[in-house]
Amino acid sequence: MNFHIISLFPNSMSSYIKESIIGRAIKDKKIRVKFYNPRDFTRDKWRRIDQKPYGGGPGMVIQAEPVIRAISKAIARKNKYKIVFLSPGGKQFDTKTARQIAQSIKDLVIIAGRYEGIDERVNKVFKTEKISVGPYVLTGGELPALILVDSISRQIEGVLGNDLSLEERRISSNKVYTRPEIFKIKDKNYRVPKVLLSGDHKKINMWKNAGNK
Ligand code: SAM
């Protein structure tokens, strides 16, 4: 699967994708991540990409045309693509959406905004889906873009090494323990819950299902 990220700040994402599981997925050619900076698609010599908002208001708005040219480059000669426009007002992203995208899309274009956002007409030129990563406003779309890359990639076969690592496919717990079995801090012993040492997988799963009390 290919991710095409449209962003004014590609460097803010490049180190994250080089590390750990995502880094390995790129090395193993399970995924590809390409960046397109709208500034490289401007036509004026100052490479300007933002202007004041029509109707007034604070901040600056990213102009549509350089973003449209960047998207056009990303989708050139592609057919199974989808374009996501990141916005705090978009549809809440979740694991189900991540799985659907991983299973059906070959090229995913992710448009990361900044400042007051991107001129709305981008969404008129292309069929986009507006997605939010949560009910809060961030300063830019780079973290949301990485969230999409990360959560969609882990749904791609082979990315997690062991398929059972996908928490959604097994009984998982949000509380996990590893060695040592007991450690001591300020005279207090901190123990692993006994049930996890029992070897009784029925009981262990019951413990996990019960919310790990
Ligand atoms: N008024 C703008 C809007 O509603 O899109 C706010 C822009 S926000 C300060 C700047 C950019 O950050 C947005 O264009 C979007 O790409 C990204 N962003 C901020 N919060 C987000 C969220 N919760 N989910 C997805 N993208 C978000």
Domains of the chain in sequence order: 2-164 (3.40.1280.10), 171-209 (no CATH)
Nearest ligand 1 atom to the CA of 111 is: 16
Rounded Cα gap, residues 25 and 6, in angstroms: 21
DSSP 3-state percent helix, strand, coil across the chain (nearest 5): 35, 20, 40
| Whether 48 contacts 60, CB under 8 Å | no
Nearest ligand 1 atom to the CA of 137 is: 20
The finding on whether 53 has its CB within 6 A of some atom of ligand 1 is no
Nearest ligand 1 atom to the CA of 134 is: 23
Mean pLDDT of 51-60: 96
pLDDT, residue 211, reads 76
Under 8 Å CB-to-CB from 2, ≥6 apart: which residues?
31, 32, 33, 34, 106, 107, 108
End-to-end CA distance of the chain: 39
pLDDT, residue 119, reads 98
Question: Above pLDDT 70, what percent of the chain?
Answer: 98
Least reliable range by pLDDT among 70-79, 82-91, 179-188, 203-212: 203-212
- Count of Cβ atoms closer than 10 Å to residue 34 Cβ: 14
Q: Binning pLDDT at 50, 70 and 90, where does residue 170 land?
A: confident
In three-state secondary structure terms, 151 is helix
pLDDT, residue 126, reads 98
For the chain, give the mean pLDDT.
Answer: 95
| Chain mean position to CA 56 | 32
Which residue from 72, 70, 10, 71 is spatially nearest to 40, judged by alpha carbons?
70
Nearest ligand 1 atom to the CA of 112 is: 16
The finding on whether 89 has its CB within 6 A of some atom of ligand 1 is yes
Position 77: which residue type?
R
Q: Residue 111: left (phi > 0), alpha (psi -120 to 50), or beta?
A: beta
Which residue from 138, 137, 88, 140 is spatially nearest to 112, judged by alpha carbons?
140
pLDDT in tens, 28-51: 999 999 999 999 999 989 999 999
In three-state secondary structure terms, 41 is helix
The finding on whether 135 has its CB within 6 A of some atom of ligand 1 is no
Pocket test for ligand 1, best of 137, 147, 148, 149 (most atoms within 8 A of CB): 137
Residue 42 Cα to ligand 1 middle (Å): 22
Mean pLDDT of 79-88: 96
The finding on whether 116 has its CB within 6 A of some atom of ligand 1 is yes
Residue 113 Cα to ligand 1 middle (Å): 6
Residue 88 Cα to ligand 1 middle (Å): 5
pLDDT, residue 164, reads 66
pLDDT, residue 172, reads 80
| Whether 68 contacts 122, CB under 8 Å | yes
Nearest ligand 1 atom to the CA of 117 is: 14
